[in-house]
Amino acid sequence: MDLQSADGVRRNSTLICAPIMAESVDHMLVQMKRAKELGADLAEVRVDFLKNFSPRNDLEALIKQCPLPTLITYRPKWEGGQYDGDENKRQKALQLAMELGADFIDIELKVAHEFYNFIRGKKPEKVKIIVSSHNYECTPSIEEIGDLVARIQATGADIVKVATTALDITDNARMFHIIVNLQVPMIGLVMGERGLMSRVLAAKYGAFLTFGSIEAGVVSAPGQPTVKDLLELYNLRQIEADTKVHGVIGNPIGHSKSPHLYNAAFKSVGFNGIYLPLLVDSVANYISTYSSPDFAGYSYTIPHKEDGLKCCDEVDPIAKEIGAISCMIRRPDDGKLKGYNVDYLGAIAAIEEALGASNGAPASVSPLAGKLFVVMGAGGAGKALAYGAYEKGARVVVANRTYGKAKELASKVGGQAIALAELKDFHPEEGMILANTTSVGMKPRIEDTPLAKEALKHYALVFDTIYTPKLTTLLREAQEAGSTIVYGTEMFINQAFVQFERFTGLPAPKQLIRDVLARNT
């Protein structure tokens, strides 16, 4: 198979396989053409999806007319597929696919010995048999996966396939361990959102192939990215064994635009790194599992900024004061983890800029000096904003759902604490500044707002840390109430510049980062 990519810089041999799932041969042929246009290397023809499947006619048309090499899969219901008929007929169809020129066929471990007996060694030389096992419940231990792989190898498989389900992001590490140490070609994937890294880093660890869907949401297994995302968002062709892994640690994480920014920026400067959305339940478990020097740096978002700090070997003094990090770097010399907080730099700079435009204060004095600055939320971002405002001479008020947490933060910045429920009636003066650091109003619940519109008329400026959507309900209603608004994207952009430089040691391609964010919000 020709492994050169279009620009000649393919750095790994991992194939991208696009599942073809349609009810008619004609529709499958259309999907195959689309898969080739998108850049897939291989088409997995899921004949169990065909209505009124006529093996000889349909397989001949699909194999001969496919513009890509073909992997024929006829998945039974007992292994997560659609076929619910006679097993003998199914195996006969797979044998026919080999005779008609398929490049690969997939047979399940449960019936592999039976299938090899059935074909009695009549396997065309060019055909490779993938023997597969799918676990839709969990990811077993390394020992159990190892035993499973040995059983698959014992059938005479040309290629081993093991797909498991991620209950935690650390499950991927067990699959990587097996792939790296196996001497035969292996497809090793972990399904579900927590398993996304297994699909992208398949190229780092040398998996035979990874699957990418033709369109978003139309997947043959949970957590499957698109061919387009594998190639354009994650730059899969450029991933190498020594590619440095970065990512954003959060929960939820699907909304994050960070992978779009950093992957495009890494590529633009020729930095050998990948940046992934990391759906993490326990930061401590994640950090202790992925302790290799190749796992080089992270951004932190809700709700893990404080837990991230606890996992650092060293913490920047400002982050220590805030009590939360937004960025973690693994030092290349000794592998120690250092935490920083760069959130407040971007946010405060954006707020000052917006205020300065109307304030006319001397440059040496922050336009925030003396202002009443209300922070909604007392988590990592709330602490960062409260600390940043305090540093600039503002009088800080912290409003939080849990009053105790508000009081604890307010005491650190010489401020006042109130319960979030009281904020709608709180207006000791006009021209206040409001900063929302809660997740209220974040996609998908974009109609929600943390403060009633009526209360917004007392604020000169309203800032929202949320950037998906860019114009939150809070910002839209604040604008209607006459306030100046500052988008969360401004904080996001400014801290992205700083983090990029920490990750790479190179100057940030600022205009490119702005352009990418504009296209993705």
Query: With 0-12 CB in 10 A as exposed, 13-18 as middle and 19+ as buried, what is 143?
Result: exposed
Nearest 5 degrees, angle CA 506-CA 511-CA 515? 125
The token duo for 198 is 């297994």
Report which of 190, 167, 191 is spatially closest to residue 178, judged by C-alpha positions. 190
Task: Find out whether the peptide bond into 303 is cis, omega within 30 degrees of 0.
Answer: yes
Residue 197 dihedral angles phi and psi, to the nearest 5°: -60, -30
**Residue of 244, 246, 304, 305 marked active site:** 305
Asked whether the beta carbons of 129 and 107 are under 8 A apart, the reply is yes
pTM: 0.86
For the chain, 521 residues long, give each residue's pLDDT as a single digit of tens: 445 444 557 999 999 999 999 999 999 999 999 999 999 999 999 999 999 999 999 999 999 999 999 999 999 999 999 999 999 999 999 999 999 999 999 999 999 999 999 999 889 999 999 999 999 999 999 999 999 999 999 999 999 999 999 999 999 999 999 999 999 999 999 999 999 999 999 999 999 999 999 999 899 999 999 999 999 999 999 999 999 999 999 999 988 999 999 999 999 999 999 999 999 999 999 999 999 999 999 999 989 999 999 999 999 988 998 889 999 999 999 999 999 999 888 899 889 989 986 555 556 789 999 999 999 999 888 999 999 999 999 999 999 999 999 999 999 999 999 999 999 999 999 999 999 999 999 989 999 999 999 999 999 999 999 988 999 999 999 999 999 999 998 888 988 999 999 999 999 999 999 999 889 87
The residues, ordered by sequence, that sit 6+ positions from 290 with a Cβ below 8 Å of its Cβ are 170, 173, 245
The per-residue DSSP string of 94-143 comes to HHHHHHTT-SEEEEEHHHHHHHHHHHTT---TT-EEEEEEE-SS----HH
CA distance 514 to 234: 18
Query: Of these residues, 134, 260, 338, 383, which one is catalytic?
Result: 134
- 453 catalytic? Reply is no
Q: What are phi and psi of 78, to 5 degrees?
A: -70, -5
Q: Which residues contact 247 (CB under 8 A, 6 or more apart)?
A: 197, 259, 275, 276, 277, 278, 298, 299
- CA distances (Å), origin 490, targets 8, 23, 305: 37, 47, 19
- Give the start-end residues of each E strand in 120-228: 128-134, 159-165, 186-191, 209-211
Question: 384 in helix, strand or coil?
Answer: helix
Show the tokens assigned to 75.
């998945």
The active-site residue out of 161, 244, 383, 392 is 161
For position 5, what pLDDT does the model report?
45
Q: Which of 48, 168, 343, 464 is catalytic?
A: 343
For residue 454, what are the contacts with CB-CB under 8 A and spacing of at least 6?
A: 424
Active site residue 229: no
What pLDDT, on the 0 to 100 scale, is given for residue 359? Answer: 56
At 8 the pLDDT is 55
The question of whether 106 is a catalytic residue gets the answer no
Question: Crossing angle for the helix pair 142-154 and 109-119, nearest 10 degrees?
Answer: 10
The CB-based long-range contact list for 410-418 (8 Å cut-off, 24+ gap) reads 410/386, 412/321, 412/386, 412/387, 413/386, 413/387, 413/389, 414/390, 415/386, 415/390
Give the DSSP letter of residue 214.
S
161 noted as active-site residue: yes
Instruction: Give the three-class secondary structure for 434.
Output: strand
CB atoms within 10 A of CB 142: 14
Asked if residues 28 and 62 have their Cβ atoms less than 8 Å apart, the reply is: yes
- The verdict on whether omega for the bond into residue 67 sits within 30 degrees of 0, i.e. cis, is no
